[in-house]
Structure 1
Amino acid sequence: MRIIWTEKAEKQLNQIFEYIASDSSLYAHRTVGQIIEEVESILSHPRKGRMVPEYERDNIREVFHHPYRIIYLLKDETIEILSVIHGARLLPDDLK
């Protein structure tokens, strides 16, 4: 399996970095690094994340790096990172 980041998820990760970096570039690097580590940990157990309740699809799952939800799609031999969103935000009706 391999990980693919969608353009949307990459943009969200960059926005998280920029937001945190406005106060501390150290914590911005640390937080983004930890999010990336959490994503990479999915490779060893792709179904480790729970099913996203808002979508009720077995192939759309999520793991957490507090306070962020990392939402991904299991697809053949890939794990597609769909979104990295703050847990307090509502998810859109369609992730794509």
Structure 2
Amino acid sequence: MDDIGEYIAKESIRYAELIVSKLFSAADILETYPRRGTIVPQFMDESIRQLMVDNYRIVYQLAAGDKVNILTVHHGKRLISNTRHFKKKK
């Protein structure tokens, strides 16, 4: 999130603050509604989901007890590769 804020702040500090605030707010919503996001199409795994916030994607994994693990936050145009961060734990 720091990197996103710093990148956007090069053009507009106010917009950077707004986007970072929106991202944190969206992540907070997941505490109450963990299944709010959609399944990430690249994985077709019910437990790996995403929330879109403006042009950014919050990718997270459902964990036990309706908890979530945020896997990544990045620009929505970036591709997600099948790295170890997104592989299902055995």
Q: How does the TM-score come out when normalised to structure 2?
A: 0.86
Correspondence for 2:38: 50
Q: Which runs of 5+ in 1 are unaligned?
A: 1-12
Is residue 2:52 matched to residue 1:64? yes
Q: Which runs of 5+ in 2 are unaligned?
A: 86-90
CA offset at residue 25 of structure 1? 1.4
Question: Percent same amino acid at aligned positions?
Answer: 33
The alignment of Structure 1 onto Structure 2 pairs a total of residues equal to 84
Query: Whose RCO is larger (CA < 8 A, sep 6+)?
Result: 1
Which contiguous aligned blocks of 4+ residues in structure 1 show a shift greater than 4 angstroms?
Answer: none
> Considering only aligned residues, what root-mean-square deviation do their CA atoms show, in Å?
1.2
State how far apart, in whole Å, the 2-side matches of 1:64 and 1:49 are. Answer: 8
Q: CA deviation at 1:57?
A: 0.8
Shift of 1:38: 0.6
Which of 9, 20, 23 is the aligned partner of 1:35? 23
Which amino acid counterpart does residue 24 of structure 1 have in structure 2? Answer: S
Which structure: larger Rg? 2
**Structure 2 partner of 1:80:** 69
Q: TM-score scaled by structure 1?
A: 0.81
